[in-house]
Amino acid sequence: MPDDAPVIASMSYVMPSDTRPCSYTFQPPPGIPWESADYDLRSISIHDARQADSAPQLELEGFELWDAATSVKDFLDLNEIRSVYYQEARELALAATGARKAYVFDHLLRKRETSDTPLSFGKRAANGMAAANGRIHNDYTEASGKKRLGMVIQDVKELAQVRRYSIVNIWRPIRNTVLDTPLAVCDARTIEPKDLVSCDVRYPNRTGEIYLVNFATRHRWSYFSRMEPHEALVFKQYDSQFSGCSRFTPHAAFDHPHIPAHARPRESIELRCLVTY
């Protein structure tokens, strides 16, 4: 097999249904399932973006790899994340988007569960870390992307000045080279609005909304092989501008078909950042 052949791996699309999907982040009331949707596990070709003829770009494919070392020593130290990593991420988000202001509002640490466990939907946490998430989704929808602006910028004057804004995720390995369970991203240009299915996400004190994704053969999937902690994947989750830019970049974790025996479970941090132009 040539070196640049795509890998084939399983990821969970959503099964078409008449009812609006809903998932819980905490123990649901009696009789209500954690996840109401049914998932459609598909074998997908995932290209190694390092082999692409030209490097993917944030405003085209919806994702971009940056060589951006971090000075964070301990990602388990919440104070260091807030004081050091958030500032680094703001700078990276501005460099990647060309925006004027950046507001980091959320982050999450993940660790792949033992590799004999099937990829979960990211819920089960081990030592305070979420599991890798094998369910194809986009973190914001048309509605929740719009709503997030007012949650992040509360100053009325500052809010009134905002024209275009977008939300990007910044994802990086925190300890080792990722060999087992990378993050796959779908070329935003291959997504059509009819592919996107709004799904409620219930938190104890509010309901968020993400997109799940219907299967389509036109979707083109990529990942960056052997990502290292000095590399960061920046990918678009929402844009208030409708045309001429990427807007939604669905993504999911997948188990690489060739995991070396010595591979350690992937540990990563993802961070969400709203930028204004």
Signed CA dihedral, 6, 10, 15, 20: sign only: negative
Give the contact letters, 144-183, x = binds to ligand OGA (CB under 6 A), - = no.
Answer: -------------------------x-x-----------x
Q: Which of 102, 132, 167, 213 binds ligand OGA (CB under 6 A)?
A: 132
Q: Which of 61, 64, 113, 139 binds Fe ion (CB under 5 A)?
A: 139
Window of 12-20, 22-30, 132-140, 215-223 that interacts with ligand OGA by CB under 6 A: 132-140
Q: Which does residue 183 touch among ligand OGA, Fe ion, none (CB within 5 to 8 A, set by kind)?
A: ligand OGA
Q: Is 64 in the site for Fe ion (CB under 5 A)?
A: no
Radius of gyration of the chain (CA): 18
List own/partner pairs for 198-201 with CB under 8 A and 24 or more apart: 198/20, 198/21, 198/141, 198/143, 199/14, 199/20, 199/21, 199/22, 199/23, 199/37, 199/137, 200/20, 200/21, 200/22, 200/23, 201/22, 201/23, 201/25
Record the tokens describing residue 207, joined without a space. Answer: 């309901």
Q: Which does residue 182 touch among ligand OGA, Fe ion, none (CB within 5 to 8 A, set by kind)?
A: none
Q: Taking CA 200 as the corner, what is the angle to CA 21 and CA 246, rounded to the nearest 5 degrees?
A: 100
Residues that contact ligand OGA, how many (by CB under 6 A): 12
Q: 234-273: which residues touch ligand OGA (CB under 6 A)?
A: 251, 253, 268, 270
Q: Which does residue 268 touch among ligand OGA, Fe ion, none (CB within 5 to 8 A, set by kind)?
A: ligand OGA
- The three-class DSSP label of residue 193 is helix
Nearest distance, CB of residue 272 and ligand OGA, angstroms? 8
Q: Please give the Cα distance from 195 to 221 (Å, whole number).
A: 15
Q: Please give the Cα distance from 65 to 78 (Å, whole number).
A: 25
Q: Which does residue 23 touch among ligand OGA, Fe ion, none (CB within 5 to 8 A, set by kind)?
A: none
Task: List residues near ligand OGA by CB under 6 A.
Answer: 110, 122, 132-133, 139, 169, 171, 183, 251, 253, 268, 270
